[in-house]
Amino acid sequence: MTASTRVLVGKVDELTEGSQTEVKVDGKSVLVVCYEGQYYALRNNCSHKDYPLKGGDVDMGRITCEKHGAKFELATGKAKTLPAVKPVQIYKTQIDGEELFVLPL
């Protein structure tokens, strides 16, 4: 993986706790979430139906799909509650100086 494949999310000091930022990685929408001081990146698309996860509630390390309430673990992408059963793809986050990047795992 070369450094050129990574995608800039923004400045770390602007990506504050609770922020949700959408970026494109290889043409796919990826959601970057700041939760309890950590950055997580996952495919911005629920695995149940085609619906964005952006804007969903984040609690206990999970993001809730607003459409039907499925919850996904931020760290693994695993579906934790029905109606979703399949995981969503996760991405790697990387802090470089004052900036945050996302890249495919």
Binding site for ligand FES (CB under 6 A): 46, 48-49, 51, 65, 67-70, 83-84
CB of 28 vs ligand FES, minimal distance in Å: 17
CB of 52 vs ligand FES, minimal distance in Å: 9
Which residues of the chain form beta strands (DSSP E)?
A: 7-11, 20-25, 28-35, 38-43, 58-59, 62-64, 71-73, 90-96, 99-104
Residue with tokens 């039907």: 68
Strands 20-25 and 62-64 come out as unpaired
Nearer CB in complex with ligand FES: 47/93? 47
CB of 54 vs ligand FES, minimal distance in Å: 12
